[in-house]
Amino acid sequence: MNTVSEKMINDYNNHLISNEKSSATIEKYIRDVRFFASWLGDIPLSKASLEYKKHLAGKYSPVSVNAAISSLNSFFEFIGRHDCRIRALKIQRKIFSHKDKELTKSEYTRLLNAAGNNTRLSLVMQTICACGIRVSELRYITAESAKIGQATIDCKGKMRVILIPKQLCKLLNKYAQKQGIKSGSIFVTKNGNPIDRSNIWSDMKKLCEKARVSRDKVFPHNLRHLFARTYYAVKKDIVRLADILGHSSINTTRIYTMETV
């Protein structure tokens, strides 16, 4: 077995689904495997791993390379090719983050003001920033959860409860009532499907010029970072913050609380 066939990729996709991986994780893993298969060509699988690692290292950041390696190692394990597993690049842990990458509170406020009459976009940003959730977890913000002030998040088989601030609950309830949403997810399309993360990303980018905020800072996940930094600055409780964010490792949470320089 020296090639990566479409059947192998489809079987791997089904394997990820059966193991209850999130849709975002499955999408990323399959995309990484397809990129590898496309690059592979006629190169024997047994000789390809190290060369592909060099190929990635020459084009992408170490963090991105290691993310791709993680996807491939999972795939190699699935197909029983443990000999093809790749060692991740060693990255020294950063102590500081850069100001030109982190969103500030004043910039966040300007983005909300720039959203204007786009109530759904404004509420999406407020919900991510006030609750610290991932954009993929917006579907758990329901009409029911807005009424009781808390939502149960199910991510990768791990359940956690997050609190929704009272003022945000009032806004969410008002929006749901106006949209005729009596139950289920609040942030949905006209067809009732969860709103697409790419649309949220695109809509946020459109606010940059009016809000006078660098495009490099404006994307949904940066709102989650802002929540984490704000929470930690007040509470100084990284263990509780890890629980709120749904992190399995506190080392991941530390990335969110780095000081800026």
The residue ranges of every structural domain in the chain are 6-84, 105-260
Question: Residue 95: which pLDDT band, with cuts at 50, 70 and 90?
Answer: very low
- Enter the pTM of the model: 0.69
Contact 239, 75 (CB under 8 A): no
pLDDT at residue 92 greater than cutoff 90: no
The dihedrals phi and psi of 19, each to the nearest 5 degrees, come to -90, 10
Percent of the chain with pLDDT over 70: 94
For 105-260, the fitting CATH number among 1.10.1060.10, 1.10.10.10, 1.10.443.10, 2.150.10.10 is 1.10.443.10
What are the structure tokens assigned to 156, written together?
Answer: 């990768």
**Residue with token string 């059947």:** 7
43-70 pLDDT, tens digit per residue, is 888 778 888 999 998 888 888 888 999 9
140-179 pLDDT, tens digit per residue, is 999 999 999 999 998 767 889 999 999 999 999 999 999 9
For 6-84, the fitting CATH number among 1.10.10.350, 3.30.70.600, 1.10.150.130, 3.30.70.20 is 1.10.150.130
DSSP assigned state of 238: H
Report how far residue 19's alpha carbon sits from residue 17's, in angstroms, rounded to the nearest whole number: 5
pLDDT for the residue numbered 194: 85
pLDDT at residue 94 greater than cutoff 60: no
Contact 151, 164 (CB under 8 A): yes
Paired residues of 28 in beta bridges: none
pLDDT at residue 138 greater than cutoff 90: yes
Question: Residue 33: which pLDDT band, with cuts at 50, 70 and 90?
Answer: very high
